[in-house]
């Protein structure tokens, strides 16, 4: 999801939280207990054990995007220690202490982890540093300015001791309200290009614990049989066949009638028993449409007058500017339904405690959601619900939905039992692919007028699709005047400066439960913007890079930073230089989540016309690069996610039933699809912005533009593989 | 029925239907969770382990068929290839979410045991069945080449 915050608000909230973030404690349990007892608005991000070991408390879960390493780097920096010497733990559910400063509740999304933590975590650690030094100065009766803290040791004035020795003394101290942050010239961790991910070791020896790995004494595993047609409900069921499955415990209709829950002793038994359930479905309110019909409806919508005007410029003005042009470039585009399909399918576990409370074990994208759902469904006070955040096996947006789907299922599955045994919910891959939580399908239509000099005279851009936010809890701040910002982001507020630029939007009554999917609206708007820029450049005989730069003039930050990444990527990829025979370059650039990314895709074609993706070259400006190699990894992964889907991925409906079910027919990127990626990071002193999503939007159009450069038609309906492109 | 399983150097007796996939016996009965479930139909490779030293998809192996065989999982895989692969994975910080990496590593160890100097094409062929939704592929390829270099000494 996208949330913007003004610079003023950012500094203010960061300062406020830094002033409160001053708690350090004793040991694994004692530290947090201590802060809880001290009361007040305390934000404990740093824990120091008696032996001096430093633990960063991570409020943003680690799902591969590198938050554990990035946030720990901020703590390590201000405590003047190397990243290799710090460890991390995930934060408990506690909105007062661990809210995402951009959301106001505890959760991860919109590539905001570093942006909202950069001042907060540094402030917390700097305050801890100052208090430890104060305590040492007092203990040794030494002048403060003679002491230094480095690598866990305070030394000076003839003394030297571990920081662990001063932890107790800090507990009664008044925290400094404005701790001094290290000057960037003093940084020894931030910006250092090193391979030092804190989660690597646990992920190469099998010890990393994901949601799926929870194995509690006496736990039951639940698998749910949901309606084969989206939106169907249970009319009745027969579990006689399931009773023959060894390990089967019971089958219970969900209280919301969305499915039947099969309880068993093991995951395999739960899957077997679930499959054996004979369910009678009520499809009276279920989806009955098919993809062909839904696609035709979307394409008709962008042909007609839009429902909403999303730009200052109206359609009449844009149309007038376009009709008088010397040539018009016009295309429609189609983007299919997509599943997130993280490697780890959804699931989580509820553990009952002796005091009547529960623990949720979850790779929690939104601990606040899990906390709240369990409290409400189980009718427990918030303090009786704990959240243990584990590693997530990828998410791409999927572990948070507006209706907290799998968390509600789990809470219901536990609620209807006698609540004495832990209950683990596990989705199968088929549940994931057919589950209905998708990136909606969209159609776009763009008409661009070009004058005799090849300059744009007007740009009419119409978008149709299912709104992600309408009808959800988030509607009040994500939808304005009927316009869901997540549908038009990337088309609207794009750094390019066009005359007579109209954006129209029409909502489709879509078939699925729409969900944010890595880069959200940018996953389709960037493709349209960047393919159209290449088509316009080609129509006027201009170089695609020069053509883009000509709409990024002036000294606005958006234009300057976008031009910067475009020039850097072009230089590094050798744009305009001769390529080997049969090789072609395609260009795309896009701003999303505050970051600017340009990508060049090099392809080759063989005699049969089959395409091989040879290389991607990327340039990114994401402000201060806190952990450069994590940024590179995210751009690499973002490119892979982007091209993987435009190449082959599509979900289709047949009378409300999803036709695909697993990785054999919802095809994923494979190692042979992509050989090489080079990523260059623009040096910057601006506040850090997102990296988890911004690599994805330009990847698809860079590939499309390379294919068009080879002489093939521009692919405007996705996926490419079913629309005329052959990949080798 | 009771099935005897030689897993990671120890003999275990497990009560299971012989038609149960080895993956689920290892995860849910023996509580070794490093071997992952990703698809259940041999399309993703997350459940890869070694059966008598060879990489197999444990979601497709019946536990009743492995009595007497030697099973090794990510938790216990050892030897020069495993050491080299782990070192290379650290040097390149290959992992992102990490969920597929047990399977990637078990497959890469098997590849290097059979082919000490794999080409890009060899890597693409052998690793093509191991999906990574985070798309760590370019680092996997580089790390396998690096592991081969480490093994060469």
pLDDT tens digits for range A58-89: 999 999 999 999 999 999 999 999 999 999 99
Smallest Cβ distance to B39: which of A201, A246, A662?
A662
Q: Looking at the predicted structure, is the pLDDT value of residue A39 above 80?
A: no
CA distance A345 to chain B (A): 7
The 10s digit of each residue's pLDDT in A529-551 is 999 999 999 999 999 999 999 99
> Cα separation of B24 and B32, whole Å?
10
Which chain B residues are within 8 Å of A629, Cβ to Cβ? 93
Which chain A residues are within 8 Å of B73, Cβ to Cβ? 206
A562: Cα within 13 Å, side-chain hemisphere:
26
pLDDT value of position B8: 98
Sort strands A308-309 and A327-335 into parallel, antiparallel or unpaired.
unpaired
* Domains (range + CATH), chain B: 2-72 (3.10.20.30), 80-152 (1.10.150.120)
> Cα separation of A116 and A66, whole Å?
15
Q: Give which of B19, B84, B135, B141 to mutate to test A binding, by max A Cβ within 10 Å.
A: B135
Smallest Cβ distance to A343: which of B97, B128, B141?
B97
The 10s digit of each residue's pLDDT in B81-134 is 999 999 999 999 999 999 999 999 999 999 999 999 999 999 999 999 999 999
Whether B52 has its CB under 8 Å from any CB of chain A: the answer is: no
CA distance B84 to chain A (A): 12
Q: Give which of A67, A194, A203 to mutate to test B binding, by max B Cβ within 10 Å.
A: A203
Helix, coil or strand: residue A281:
strand
Phi/psi of residue A229, nearest 5 degrees: -100, 130
Residue A293: pLDDT band by 50, 70, 90 thresholds? very high
- CB–CB of A633 and B98 under 8 A? no
Mean pLDDT over A138-163 rounds to 97
pLDDT value of position A580: 98
Q: How far is CA A3 from CA A9, A460, A478, A489, in A?
A: 13, 26, 8, 11
Q: Which residue of B has its CA nearest to A343?
A: B38
Which chain A residues are within 8 Å of B135, Cβ to Cβ? 636-637, 639-641, 644, 669, 674
CA distance B68 to chain A (A): 23
Complex ipTM tops 0.85: yes
Angle, in degrees to the nearest 10, between helices A628-648 and B137-152: 120
pLDDT value of position B20: 97
Q: Give which of A197, A202, A206 to mutate to test B binding, by max B Cβ within 10 Å.
A: A206
CA distance A346 to chain B (A): 11
In the sheet with B48-51, reading across from the earlier edge strand, the strands are B10-15, B2-7, B70-72, B48-51, B54-57
Which chain B residues are within 8 Å of A266, Cβ to Cβ? 24, 28-29
CA distance A270 to chain B (A): 11
| CA nearest to A574, candidates A585, A564, A563 | A585
- CB–CB of B139 and A633 under 8 A? yes
CB-based burial of residue A646 (10 Å sphere; 0-12 exposed, 13-18 middle, 19+ buried)?
buried
| CA nearest to A287, candidates A227, A338, A229 | A229
> Cα separation of A270 and A248, whole Å?
7
Which helix (H) or strand (E) covers residue A347, if one does?
Answer: strand A347-352
> Cα separation of A374 and A408, whole Å?
8
Q: Which residue of B has its CA nearest to A424?
A: B28
Cis check for the bond before A190: say yes or no (omega within 30 of 0).
no
pLDDT value of position A20: 26
Residue A354: pLDDT band by 50, 70, 90 thresholds? very high
- CB–CB of A343 and B75 under 8 A? no
> Cα separation of A127 and A147, whole Å?
16
pLDDT, mean over chain A:
92
Whether B57 has its CB under 8 Å from any CB of chain A: the answer is: no
- CB–CB of B134 and A203 under 8 A? no
Q: Which residue of B has its CA nearest to A62?
A: B97
The 10s digit of each residue's pLDDT in B9-52 is 999 999 999 999 999 999 999 999 999 999 999 999 999 999 99
Q: Which residue of A has its CA nearest to B97?
A: A64
pLDDT value of position A12: 25
> Cα separation of A727 and A705, whole Å?
15
* Domains (range + CATH), chain A: 7-204 (3.30.365.10), 216-288 (3.90.1170.50), 305-338+438-722 (3.30.365.10), 346-424 (3.30.365.10)
Whether B134 has its CB under 8 Å from any CB of chain A: the answer is: yes
- CB–CB of B135 and A636 under 8 A? yes
Do A247 and A276 form a contact (C-beta atoms < 8 A)? no
Q: Which residue of B has its CA nearest to A246?
A: B17
Angle, in degrees to the nearest 10, between helices A67-78 and A113-140: 30
| CA nearest to A537, candidates A603, A454, A460, A461 | A454
| CA nearest to A70, candidates A620, A622, A626 | A626
Whether B24 has its CB under 8 Å from any CB of chain A: the answer is: yes
Residue A104: pLDDT band by 50, 70, 90 thresholds? confident
Whether B34 has its CB under 8 Å from any CB of chain A: the answer is: yes
Smallest Cβ distance to B135: which of A196, A213, A637?
A637
Whether B72 has its CB under 8 Å from any CB of chain A: the answer is: no
Residue A103: pLDDT band by 50, 70, 90 thresholds? confident
Q: Give which of A67, A204, A642 to mutate to test B binding, by max B Cβ within 10 Å.
A: A204
- CB–CB of B97 and A391 under 8 A? yes
Residue B13: count other Cβ atoms within 10 Å of its Cβ: 8
Do B9 and B21 form a contact (C-beta atoms < 8 A)? no
In three-state form (DSSP H/G/I as H, E/B as E, the rest C), the secondary structure along A402-431 is: CCCHHHHHHHHHHHCCCCCCCEEEECCHHH
Do A575 and A600 form a contact (C-beta atoms < 8 A)? yes
> Cα separation of A189 and A169, whole Å?
28
Which residue's structure tokens are 């119409």?
A462
- CB–CB of A662 and B29 under 8 A? no
The model carries a pTM of: 0.94
Q: Which residue of B has its CA nearest to A392?
A: B97
pLDDT value of position A282: 98
Q: Looking at the predicted structure, is the pLDDT value of residue A14 above 70?
A: no
pLDDT value of position A168: 85
Residue A225: pLDDT band by 50, 70, 90 thresholds? very high
Q: Where are the alpha helices (DSSP H) in A235-333?
A: 267-276, 291-303, 315-323
- CB–CB of B99 and A343 under 8 A? yes
Q: Which residue of A has its CA nearest to B85?
A: A204
Which chain A residues are within 8 Å of B127, Cβ to Cβ? 671
> Cα separation of A84 and A87, whole Å?
8
Q: Looking at the predicted structure, is the pLDDT value of residue A22 above 50?
A: no
Q: Which residue of B has its CA nearest to A676?
A: B138
pLDDT value of position A386: 97
Sort strands A501-507 and A483-484 into parallel, antiparallel or unpaired.
unpaired
Do A210 and A95 form a contact (C-beta atoms < 8 A)? no
Q: Looking at the predicted structure, is the pLDDT value of residue A613 above 70?
A: yes
- CB–CB of B96 and A64 under 8 A? yes
Q: Looking at the predicted structure, is the pLDDT value of residue A519 above 80?
A: yes
- CB–CB of B124 and A671 under 8 A? yes
- CB–CB of A267 and B93 under 8 A? no
Mean pLDDT over A557-583 rounds to 98
Pairs of CB atoms within 8 A across A/B: 181
> Cα separation of A490 and A528, whole Å?
10
Which helix (H) or strand (E) covers residue A476, if one does?
Answer: helix A475-478
pLDDT value of position A2: 35
Residues 6 or more apart whose Cβ sits within 8 Å of residue A551: A456, A496, A497, A498
Smallest Cβ distance to B21: which of A207, A268, A629?
A268
């Amino acid at each position: 999801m996208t949330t913007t915050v003004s610079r003023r608000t950012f500094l203010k909230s960061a300062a406020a939280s830094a002033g409160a973030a001053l708690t350090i404690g004793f040991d694994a349990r004692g530290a947090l207990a201590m802060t809880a007892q001290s009361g007040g608005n305390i934000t404990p991000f740093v824990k120091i054990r008696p032996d001096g070991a430093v633990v960063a408390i991570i409020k943003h879960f680690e799902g591969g995007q590198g938050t554990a390493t990035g946030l720990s780097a901020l703590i390590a920096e201000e405590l003047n220690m190397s990243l290799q010497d710090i460890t991390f733990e995930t934060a408990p559910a506690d909105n007062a202490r661990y809210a995402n400063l951009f959301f106001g509740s505890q959760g991860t999304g919109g590539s905001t982890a570093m942006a909202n933590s950069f001042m907060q975590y540094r402030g917390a650690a700097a305050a801890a540093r100052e208090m430890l030094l104060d305590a040492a100065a007092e203990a040794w009766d030494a002048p403060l300015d003679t002491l230094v803290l480095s690598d866990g040791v305070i030394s000076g004035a003839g003394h030297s001791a571990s920081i662990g020795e001063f932890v107790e003394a800090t507990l009664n101290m008044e925290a400094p309200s404005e701790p001094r942050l290290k000057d960037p010239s003093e940084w020894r961790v931030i910006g250092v290009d090193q391979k030092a991910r804190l989660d690597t070791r646990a992920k190469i020896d099998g010890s990393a614990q994901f949601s799926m790995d929870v194995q509690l004494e006496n736990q039951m595993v639940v698998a749910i049989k949901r309606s084969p047609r989206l939106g169907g409900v249970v009319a009745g069921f027969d579990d006689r066949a399931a009773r023959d499955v060894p390990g089967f415990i019971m089958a219970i209709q969900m209280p919301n009638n969305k499915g039947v829950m099969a309880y068993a002793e093991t995951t395999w038994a739960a899957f077997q028993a679930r499959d054996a359930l004979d369910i009678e479905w009520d499809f009276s309110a279920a989806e009955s449409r098919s993809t062909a019909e839904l696609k035709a409806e979307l394409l008709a919508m962008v042909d007609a007058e839009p429902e909403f005007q999303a730009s200052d410029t109206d359609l009449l003005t844009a149309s007038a500017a376009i009709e008088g042009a010397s040539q018009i470039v016009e295309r429609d585009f189609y983007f299919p339904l997509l599943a997130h399909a993280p490697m780890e399918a959804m699931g989580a576990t509820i553990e009952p405690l002796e005091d009547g409370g529960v623990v949720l074990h979850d790779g929690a994208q939104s601990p606040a959601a899990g906390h709240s759902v369990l409290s409400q469904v189980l009718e427990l006070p918030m303090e009786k619900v704990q959240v243990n955040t584990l590693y997530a096996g990828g998410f791409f947006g999927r572990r948070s939905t507006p209706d907290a789907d799998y968390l509600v299922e789990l809470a219901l599955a536990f609620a209807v039992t006698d609540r004495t045994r832990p209950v683990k919910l596990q989705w199968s891959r088929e549940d994931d692919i057919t589950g209905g939580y998708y990136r909606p399908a969209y159609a776009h239509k763009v008409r661009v007028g070009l004058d005799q000099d090849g300059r744009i005279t007007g740009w009419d851009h119409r978008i149709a699709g299912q709104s992600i936010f309408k009808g959800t809890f988030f509607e009040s701040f994500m939808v304005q005047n009927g316009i869901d910002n997540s549908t038009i982001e990337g088309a609207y507020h794009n750094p390019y400066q066009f005359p007579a630029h109209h954006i129209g939007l029409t909502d489709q009554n879509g078939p699925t439960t729409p969900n944010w999917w890595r880069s959200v609206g940018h996953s389709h708007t960037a493709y349209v913007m960047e393919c159209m820029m290449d088509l316009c450049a080609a129509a006027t005989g201009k170089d695609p890079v020069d053509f883009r730069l000509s709409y990024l003039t002036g000294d606005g930050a958006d234009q300057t930073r976008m031009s910067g990444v475009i020039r850097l990527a072009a230089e590094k990829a050798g744009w305009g230089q001769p390529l080997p025979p049969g090789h072609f370059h395609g260009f795309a650039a896009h701003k999303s989540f505050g970051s600017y990314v340009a990508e060049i895709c090099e392809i080759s074609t063989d005699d049969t016309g089959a395409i091989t993706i040879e290389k991607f070259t990327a340039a990114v400006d994401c402000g201060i690069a806190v952990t450069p190699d994590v940024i590179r990894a995210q751009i690499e992964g973002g490119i892979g996610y982007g091209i993987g889907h435009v190449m082959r991925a599509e979900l289709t409906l047949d009378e409300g039933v999803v036709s695909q079910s697993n990785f054999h027919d919802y095809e994923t990127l494979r190692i042979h699809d992509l050989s090489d990626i080079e990523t260059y990071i623009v040096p910057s002193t601006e506040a850090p912005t997102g990296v988890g999503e911004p690599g994805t939007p330009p990847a698809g159009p860079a590939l499309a533009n390379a294919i068009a450069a080879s002489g093939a038609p521009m692919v405007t309906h996705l996926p490419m593989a079913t629309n005329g492109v052959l990949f080798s | 029925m009771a099935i005897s399983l030689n897993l990671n150097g120890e003999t275990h007796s497990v009560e299971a239907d012989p038609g149960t996939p080895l993956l689920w016996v290892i995860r849910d009965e023996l509580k070794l969770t490093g071997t992952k479930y990703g698809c259940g139909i041999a399309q993703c490779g997350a459940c890869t382990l070694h059966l008598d030293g060879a990489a197999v998809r444990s979601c497709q192996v019946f536990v009743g068929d492995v009595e007497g065989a030697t099973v090794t999982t990510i938790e216990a895989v050892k030897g020069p290839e495993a050491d080299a692969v782990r070192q290379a994975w650290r040097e390149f910080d290959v992992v992102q979410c990490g969920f597929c990496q047990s399977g990637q590593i078990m497959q890469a160890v098997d590849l290097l045991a059979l082919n000490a100097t794999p080409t890009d094409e060899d890597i693409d062929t052998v690793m093509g069945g191991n999906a990574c939704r985070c798309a760590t592929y370019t680092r996997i390829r580089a790390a396998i080449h690096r592991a081969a270099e480490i093994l060469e000494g």
